[in-house]
Amino acid sequence: MGISTEAQQFAQFLENVRVKASTPGLDLAVVRDIVDTHASASTEPEGVTYADVDADGVPALWAIPEGADPDRALLASPAPRQLTWKPPGHAHRPPSRQPRRSREGKADMKAFVVEMYGRDGLRAADVPEPTVGDGDVLVRVSAASINPLDRMLRNGEFKRLLKHRLPFVLGHDVAGIVTQVGSAVRDLTVGDEVYARPRDLRIGGFAEFIAIDQDDVAPKPQSLTPREAAAVPLVALAAWQILVDRAHVMPGQKVLIHAGAGGLGSTAIQLAKHLGATVATTTNTRTEKLVRSLGADIVIDYTKEDFSKVLSGYDLVLDSMGGANLEKSLTVLKPGGLAIGVAGPPDAGFARQLDAPSFMGMAMNALSRKVRKQAKALGVRYEFFFMQASGAQLRELGALYDSGRLRPVIDRTFPFDQTLEAMAYVEQGRTTAGKVVISMTPGSD
């Protein structure tokens, strides 16, 4: 019996199960994918269930403990309870497949790793599951999202500052389920749905599993699906740290947010509005409506108009372009106003933040000398900003997503095995607005 015929029979079986046992959480489309690809997880009222093929290649469904790793649970003793479906005359035996094991004895997982710096440096690979430290949680990744930082890291743009050892797993944003906790972990337990921007040098969201320091992790906002939650952490933390921590935006202040349709801009507009600011943004004609729906009061189409000719008296500019855009941004500030650059040039504060040697601080100061001088001449300030991981802030942000004050903007979702295509899609500039997400179960949320 071919797998597709079995899959059809199994889907038919699940249809019956759904009717008989009323299992509304079980998405047949997802399960069909699962059966076709031999592995993944779905939920039903009794807890997480797992669809796989048994030792004879016949599709079956097992109930496994919530948060458990299906591969391991299936091989555990006693065997997990099986939801009954057997083709006539068939007795199920658990899958014969053993978890893949690396040379270090750890189970292997699928991941996208930077093997060498450069455009073609990202590859799919089987790598050992991450080691879980005392203060870490192991997260089975449900979804991840792409940030410009992934491209930069892959290209080696940060290699002098962020000293990753090649090969390393890429990916700065994740949502998933905790499957293991270290001995010193306090507030998180197996089965928790979480989201995170893991700290620098401990990234690795483009993988089946990631070990994350507990301090970088927060419960997933309940109102968001894993796919939506994965779109949030890096840009939301950056927006929060810029607008709240660094600039202390107050009600009534005027804030200009460049690139309002981007991942960062679309989040910063919403947060600045929540803080009570009047928000101007730059975007293109296609996304004007979207940025207004996010709360922008003044929208400037950068393809038609020069923002520096129409705006003045601003308290804060968030510049994500650098270069001429940043220099012009200084001119729209009121005296004492602040321009925060996230695309550069860096300053000595950035070197300090990364604990880089002092000569790097001097080099960075040199890079930003021109713009700092221009700012001083205009009676305004320039600061570079680079975001930091924070589970505590993700908890606060989660409440804003759950209350509907913030919402993620997602351009497109790719399946995990198409992570390279997703990166190429982002790099070719084909996005319309917001984030590009990678999902382990596309179509399920």
Ligand X SMILES: NC(=O)c1ccc[n+]([C@@H]2O[C@H](COP(=O)([O-])OP(=O)(O)OC[C@H]3O[C@@H](n4cnc5c(N)ncnc54)[C@H](OP(=O)(O)O)[C@@H]3O)[C@@H](O)[C@H]2O)c1
Nearest alpha carbon to residue 84 among 61, 104, 68, 103: 61
CA distance 55 to 72: 15
Could you say which of 175, 210, 235, 277 contacts ligand X (CB under 6 A)? 235
By beta-carbon proximity to ligand X, the closer residue of 34 and 236 is 236
Give 373's contacts (C-beta < 8 A, 6+ positions apart).
none
Q: What are phi and psi of 15, to 5 degrees?
A: -60, -40
Rounded to a whole number of angstroms, the minimum distance from the CB of residue 26 to ligand X is 34
Could you say which of 115, 386, 415, 445 contacts ligand X (CB under 6 A)? 386
Give the x-and-dash track for 137-176 against ligand X (CB under 6 A): ----------xxx---------------------------
Which range touches ligand X (CB under 6 A), out of 40-48, 245-253, 282-290, 397-405? Answer: 282-290
By beta-carbon proximity to ligand X, the closer residue of 92 and 435 is 435
3-state helix, strand, coil in the chain (%, to 5): 35, 25, 40
C-beta nearest to ligand X: residue: 262
By the rule CB under 6 A, 263 interacts with ligand X: yes
Nearest alpha carbon to residue 242 among 338, 158, 145, 148: 338
By beta-carbon proximity to ligand X, the closer residue of 218 and 343 is 343
Tokens of 96: 């014969």
Rounded to a whole number of angstroms, the minimum distance from the CB of residue 393 to ligand X is 13
Give 266's contacts (C-beta < 8 A, 6+ positions apart).
235, 260, 290, 291, 294, 409, 433, 434
Could you say which of 39, 107, 321, 420 contacts ligand X (CB under 6 A)? 321
Rounded to a whole number of angstroms, the minimum distance from the CB of residue 37 to ligand X is 30
CA distance 390 to 370: 32
Could you say which of 139, 217, 238, 332 contacts ligand X (CB under 6 A)? 238
CA torsion sign for 358, 359, 361, 365 is positive
Rounded to a whole number of angstroms, the minimum distance from the CB of residue 309 to ligand X is 14
Q: What are phi and psi of 411, to 5 degrees?
A: -80, -50
Using CB under 6 A, count the residues that bind ligand X. Answer: 24
Q: Which chain residues interact with ligand X by CB under 6 A? A: 147-149, 235, 238, 258-259, 261-265, 282-284, 302, 320-321, 342-343, 385-387, 429
